Structure 1
Amino acid sequence: MRLRTLPTDIDLLGHMNNGRYASLFDLGRFDLLIRTGILQIFQQKGWYGVVASSTITFRKSLNLWQRFTIETRLHGHDDKSVYMVHRAVVDGEVYAEMLVRSRFLRRSGGIVPLDELFEALGRPDDLPELEPWMTEWATATALPSTRAAAPSVWE
């Protein structure tokens, strides 16, 4: 997706607000789902994706009116989640990159197992193995299950 940094994207320091990247990367995910036809399958099956966790790294600032491209690609999966990478790119140079771990749910309730997901969508043959740090990151940042207690206690 080709975009331009708008006045509503800018923070008090004069560059793209860090929180705005996540919202724009959401658009990149929806664009990918629409272009590949996956969104239509999700709608037919009553499925939807949610972000389970994400991390973003900033390299350079996007300034007011600057043109940039959002690049989105499926990176891989583990036994529960699908991992995507989003980039904000200017003239072929990465300005920011976000890793997103997504889960898929049914509108009627419950989780869509990845084998069912890939049966409906097909699994790309060229998905790389997850890098070890990605698996470690997913484990280290996980919160308790929605069925477990998660009291807000600061240690």
Structure 2
Amino acid sequence: MNLFLRLLLLLLTHRFRPRCEKLGPARKGFIVWPPDLDVLWHVNNGVYLSMLDVARVDWMLRSGMAGPIRRRGYYPVVAAETIRFRKSLQLFQRFDVETRVLGWDDRAFIVQHRFLRGEELVAEAIVRARFLKRKGGTVSSAELLQAIGVEEPSPPLPDWIAAWNRENAAR
């Protein structure tokens, strides 16, 4: 299904879904539609990344973060992402994307997305997300945490994710 249709449907229905914690987890259900498929009749690799966008918007809306972020003129951008595929998703299959914040550094948040068919892991993505100001400039993690009312320190990242994050931050 087209990204814009999924986003429109999300904007129309998110108020009827349960709230979630600011750092997650948040689960968003999906169905595989014909436009999601590639020539091998499974979900196209690029479509997975579009679904991550929808899952992040769902999480930000249901956690209550979207309002304070928008009021301050902040907006999120993906700085880096990596994804590992374990299984295929086929036409009309139902699945969830589970989103959670794993941690942060001074400039970015590390977000984990898990594609789940029931409790079976289909794919897992790690995203380095930053926030920018509409009038120009970047938002530090401390500024964003203050805006959304999170006071706790970052949990430690798994070693491989910490190394991946350092490498991407240096570029």
Provide the TM-score with structure 2 as the length reference. Answer: 0.79
Query: In the alignment, what sits opposite 1:151?
Result: none
Between 59-68 and 126-135, report the one with greater CA deviation.
126-135
Query: In the alignment, what sits opposite 2:63?
Result: 36
Please state which structure has a larger fraction of its residues in helix: 2
**Any stretches of 5+ residues in structure 2 without a counterpart?**
1-27
Identity of aligned residues (%): 42
Contact kept, 8 Å, 1:47 with 1:105, in 2: the verdict is yes
Distance in 1 between residues matched to 2:135 and 2:86, nearest whole Å: 41
For residue 21 of structure 1, the aligned residue among 30, 44, 48 is 48
For residue 138 of structure 2, the aligned residue among 97, 105, 111 is 111
Contact kept, 8 Å, 1:78 with 1:130, in 2: the verdict is no
- Please identify runs of 4+ aligned residues in structure 1 that moved more than 2 A: 122-128, 138-144
- 1:115-126 equivalences under 5 Å are 115-123=142-150, 125=152
Distance in 2 between residues matched to 1:66 and 1:127, nearest whole Å: 35
Query: In the alignment, what sits opposite 2:117?
Result: 90
Query: In the alignment, what sits opposite 2:77?
Result: 50
**Any stretches of 5+ residues in structure 1 without a counterpart?**
145-155
Provide the TM-score with structure 1 as the length reference. Answer: 0.87
Query: In the alignment, what sits opposite 1:150?
Result: none
Aligned-residue RMSD, C-alpha: 1.6
Number of aligned positions between the proteins: 144
Residue type of the alignment partner of 2:147: A
Query: In the alignment, what sits opposite 2:164?
Result: 137
Post-superposition offset of 1:131? 1.7
Matched, 1:81 2:108: yes
Q: Which has the larger radius of gyration?
A: 1
Post-superposition offset of 1:119? 1.2
